[in-house]
């Protein structure tokens, strides 16, 4: 591999114009495809085969007109009269009527008859329920309670709900201008004295990551690169190539929507990760190029050596990240698979850019690569006796390796303790960021209509196997009665039967909110009870609804964590054995990763679930955060392991003893790994400034994970363990050594050829 990469680096450096034009053509082609064939993305978090999905399919069989709670574009405006007043008061009624008139004029809001004053709607609902009660003998108090549970007017008459369905088959069909018009109408209602907010599936949109976070991350990365290279030109190169890689990857994801249904969250991970690794990979190769120039005046040869040596580490580091991301597909969760594959594709592009475009740009710049110096670039002999900050740190760890191991393990273990209280859920209005319309609407609805209003469950009763229509009706009634008797149920009532009379829908309203763990427990109690009721009544019963679907998705994600981790660790362990020709080095690498991961989960629980520091209001963590974090951080952790420990192995195979090999690894690798980690942390941490809690929590978790893994595990724990293991760290059973191919990540063959005096142009396989 080293020779092949050597030739690739030289070729790209020599034929720089062809490589640069090739990348520009590719970027334009993908951009053109993205602009012409791309389709809208979706906000669906569904997983085929989960109980709520099966229940929804059953519901659509019995009630063909039933809407899909995940994809039907719904609008919802809550209006509240000033304290001490009611919506029926003349001034408030006029304000509501004006709001309804404005909403009817908004494009895509469909049939104007959907928009009914909540006060008038409440009167109609109450009258309807009382009339039904007279016909079927239901007690009036029960009828009134059922009417109040579904009425768009709060019991005190102060708050009302205006609900409608947008035109279009999917929530992505709702145009941004339509949403803006709804918010404008709501703002007018506020000006008229009402408290109002808009929400609903049709009012949601893709989290806007904007450019602010990327610019902050890039600015910090530029500062780190300037300090690393002391040159403005060299500092700008990794950023330039990373932007090309991210642009190519992001446009590719957009173009892929023509062939695949992709979630709106898909580009987020690709952008965050692609920018970070793109800068890092270019940094590693550029740093090695500078080192090689100290031994030769032939820039083309130096470029070949840099790509042949550091490029090998980049390839294997990229492979670990790609393996971790592609392995997301094994958990069989469509939107997560799409996120992983999109990010993996962007990482692959970042590797190719670092191996080809960067050498080409360096070839075009020639001797101006390190121009624009802000400090003198001191060329020093980085030989075996050179002392720098990395060697001093390594010797300090080596003086007390047992203490370093104990302190690191105890500190990370203590930070991991809160992870035992991990609570996962998908986003709801009640967990949206403070100040957003969704959060305002969710708070108003919970305050005036009860916390369970947005956590309702739809219980579908299939009585097609029951021959007697009267028995089917009795079954519907028995299911409703027993569900209503459960603790935690505020109301349970039959809200519809199909024309054939063999299908019924029971609406269950919990007393607790969608994000409350008690609601999840209630869902399991309802399912346990319906299993018993199926035997008693001879029916088939399913539980669905938005909250039930989200709960099932969260549980599916949580159940997938262990098998996913096993797949990722197993594949990467084998890959690292190839790289290091060792069993213990990959083992320490993966154990260190586990420590940093659980510590990161503990820190994220403290800040985002428990609300420590007041960064956000405490709420459950987004369901797919842990599994995404594991995939991303494992890849990045192995990046640092590869870049740092390959320099140790390079020294060891060239004759250094085990202790001095650790020091030599830090001599050559500590500075560049520190710079790479600082860049990665800055890119991820910048996303904490985003208003969206989903992006905020992802940025925090990833930045914390890199911080702990790079500066605690890789810089403290790993060297301490390497000192304690000594020569045993590099041991491998002979039978296994014979089975594994020699990939020569350290470029040992290049070193032999160069030492033997082979001219640059003849170094080959």
Q: Which residue has the higher pLDDT, 506 or 572?
A: 506
DSSP 44-80: ----TT-HHHHHHHHHHHH-TT---TTTS-EEEEEEE
- Model pLDDT for residues 161-203, shown as the tens digit of each residue: 999 999 887 777 888 899 999 999 999 999 999 999 999 888 8
| Residues 374, 232 contacting (CB under 8 angstroms) | yes
pLDDT at res. 561: 80
- Model pLDDT for residues 416-452, shown as the tens digit of each residue: 999 988 887 777 777 777 778 888 998 899 999 988 8
- Model pLDDT for residues 260-277, shown as the tens digit of each residue: 777 666 777 788 778 778
How confident is residue 453, by pLDDT bands cut at 50, 70 and 90?
confident
| Residues 112, 104 contacting (CB under 8 angstroms) | yes
What is the spatial distance between Cα 577 and Cα 723, in angstroms, rounded to a whole number?
A: 19
What is the spatial distance between Cα 542 and Cα 360, in angstroms, rounded to a whole number?
A: 60
Residues 6+ apart with CB under 8 A from 478: 533, 536, 537
Topology classification of domain 393-433+558-732: Multidrug efflux transporter AcrB transmembrane fold (1.20.1640)
Of the ranges 137-146, 353-362, 591-600, which is most confident? 353-362
Q: With respect to CATH, is domain 1-41+213-379+753-765 assigned 3.40.109.10?
A: no
What is the spatial distance between Cα 23 and Cα 28, in angstroms, rounded to a whole number?
A: 9
pLDDT at res. 759: 44
Matching CATH topology for 1-41+213-379+753-765 and 393-433+558-732? yes
Q: How wide is the angle at C-alpha 142 spanned by C-alphas 138 and 143, nearest 5°?
A: 70
In the chain, pLDDT over 70 holds for what percent of residues? 92
Topology classification of domain 43-66+457-544: Alpha-Beta Plaits (3.30.70)
What is the spatial distance between Cα 184 and Cα 514, in angstroms, rounded to a whole number?
A: 28
How confident is residue 213, by pLDDT bands cut at 50, 70 and 90?
low
- Model pLDDT for residues 121-150, shown as the tens digit of each residue: 988 888 888 888 777 777 888 888 888 888
What is the spatial distance between Cα 518 and Cα 675, in angstroms, rounded to a whole number?
A: 46
Instruction: Give the predicted TM-score (pTM) of the model.
Output: 0.77
DSSP-derived pairing of the beta strands 424-425 and 621-622: parallel
**Domain range annotation of the chain:** 1-41+213-379+753-765, 43-66+457-544, 72-205, 393-433+558-732
DSSP 353-370: IIIIIHHHHHHHHGGGTT
In the chain, pLDDT over 90 holds for what percent of residues? 31
| Residues 627, 336 contacting (CB under 8 angstroms) | yes
């Amino acid at each position: 591999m080293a020779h092949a990469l050597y030739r690739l680096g030289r070729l790209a450096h020599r034929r720089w114009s062809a490589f640069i034009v090739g990348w520009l053509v590719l970027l334009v082609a993908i951009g053109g495809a993205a602009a012409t064939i791309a389709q809208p993305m979706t906000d669906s978090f569904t997983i085929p085969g989960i109980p709520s999905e099966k229940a929804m399919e059953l519901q659509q069989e019995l009630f063909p007109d039933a809407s899909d709670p995940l994809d039907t574009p719904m609008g919802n405006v809550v209006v509240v009269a000033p304290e001490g007043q009611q919506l029926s008061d003349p001034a408030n009624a006029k304000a509501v009527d004006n709001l309804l008139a404005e909403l009817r004029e908004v494009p895509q809001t469909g049939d104007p008859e959907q928009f009914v004053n909540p006060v008038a709607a409440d009167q109609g609902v109450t009258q309807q329920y009382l009339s039904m009660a007279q016909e079927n003998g239901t007690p009036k108090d029960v009828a009134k309670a059922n009417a109040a549970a579904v009425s768009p007017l709060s019991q005190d008459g102060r708050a009302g709900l205006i609900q409608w369905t947008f035109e279009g088959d999917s929530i992505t069909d709702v145009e941004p201008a339509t949403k803006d018009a709804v918010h404008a109408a709501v703002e007018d209602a506020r000006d008229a004295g009402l408290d109002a907010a808009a929400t609903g599936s049709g009012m949601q949109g893709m989290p806007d990551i904007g450019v602010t976070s990327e610019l902050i991350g890039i600015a910090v990365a530029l500062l780190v690169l300037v300090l690393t290279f002391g040159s403005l030109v060299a500092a700008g190169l990794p950023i330039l190539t990373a932007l090309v890689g991210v642009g190519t990857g992001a446009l590719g994801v957009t173009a892929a929507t023509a062939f695949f249904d992709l979630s709106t969250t898909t580009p987020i991970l690709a952008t965050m990760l692609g920018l970070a690794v793109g800068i890092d990979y270019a940094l590693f190769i550029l740093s090695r190029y500078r080192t090689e120039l100290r031994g030769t005046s032939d820039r083309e040869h130096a470029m070949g050596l840099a790509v042949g040596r550091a490029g090998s580490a980049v390839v294997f580091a990229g492979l670990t990240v790609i393996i971790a991301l592609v392995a997301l597909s094994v958990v069989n969760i469509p939107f997560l698979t799409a996120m992983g594959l999109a990010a993996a594709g962007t990482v692959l592009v970042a590797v190719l850019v670092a191996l080809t475009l960067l050498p080409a740009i360096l070839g075009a710049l020639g001797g101006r690569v390190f121009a624009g110096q802000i400090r003198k670039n001191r060329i020093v002999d980085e030989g075996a006796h050179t002392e720098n900050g990395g060697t001093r740190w390594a010797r300090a760890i080596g003086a007390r390796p047992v203490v370093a191991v104990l302190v690191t393990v105890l500190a990370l273990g203590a930070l991991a303790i809160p992870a035992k209280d991990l609570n996962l859920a998908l986003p709801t209005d009640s967990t949206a960021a403070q100040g957003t319309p969704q959060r305002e609407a969710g708070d108003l609805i919970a305050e005036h209509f009860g916390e369970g209003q947005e956590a309702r469950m739809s219980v579908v009763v299939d009585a097609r196997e029951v021959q007697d229509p009267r028995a089917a009706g009795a079954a519907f009634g028995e299911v409703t009665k027993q569900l209503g008797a459960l603790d935690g149920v505020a109301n349970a009532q039959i809200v519809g039967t199909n024309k054939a009379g063999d299908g019924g829908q029971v609406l269950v309203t919990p007393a607790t909110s969608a994000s409350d763990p008690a609601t999840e427990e209630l869902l399991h109690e309802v399912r346990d009870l319906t299993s018993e009721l199926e035997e008693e009544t001879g029916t088939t019963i399913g539980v669905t609804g938005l909250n039930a679907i989200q709960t099932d998705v969260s549980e599916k994600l949580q159940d997938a964590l262990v098998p996913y981790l096993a797949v990722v660790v197993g594949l990467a362990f084998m890959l690292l054995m190839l790289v290091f020709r060792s069993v213990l080095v990959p083992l320490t690498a993966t154990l260190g990763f586990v420590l940093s991961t659980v510590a990161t989960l503990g820190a994220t629980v403290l800040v985002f679930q428990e609300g420590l520091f007041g960064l956000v209001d405490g709420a459950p963590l987004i369901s797919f955060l842990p599994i995404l974090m594991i995939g991303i951080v494992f890849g990045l952790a192995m990046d640092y392991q590869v870049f740092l420990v390959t320099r140790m192995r390079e020294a060891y195979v060239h004759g250094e003893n085990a202790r001095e090999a650790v020091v030599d690894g830090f001599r050559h690798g500590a500075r560049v790994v520190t710079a790479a980690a600082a860049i990665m942390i800055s890119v991820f941490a910048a996303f904490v400034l985003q208003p969206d809690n989903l992006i905020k929590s992802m940025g925090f978790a990833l930045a914390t994970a890199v911080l702990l893994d790079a500066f605690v595990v890789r810089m403290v724990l790993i060297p301490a363990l390497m000192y304690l293991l000594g020569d045993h760290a590099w041991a491998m059973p002979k039978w296994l050594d014979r089975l594994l191919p020699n990939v020569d990540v350290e470029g040992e063959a290049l070193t032999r050829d160069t030492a033997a005096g082979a001219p640059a142009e003849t170094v080959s396989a």
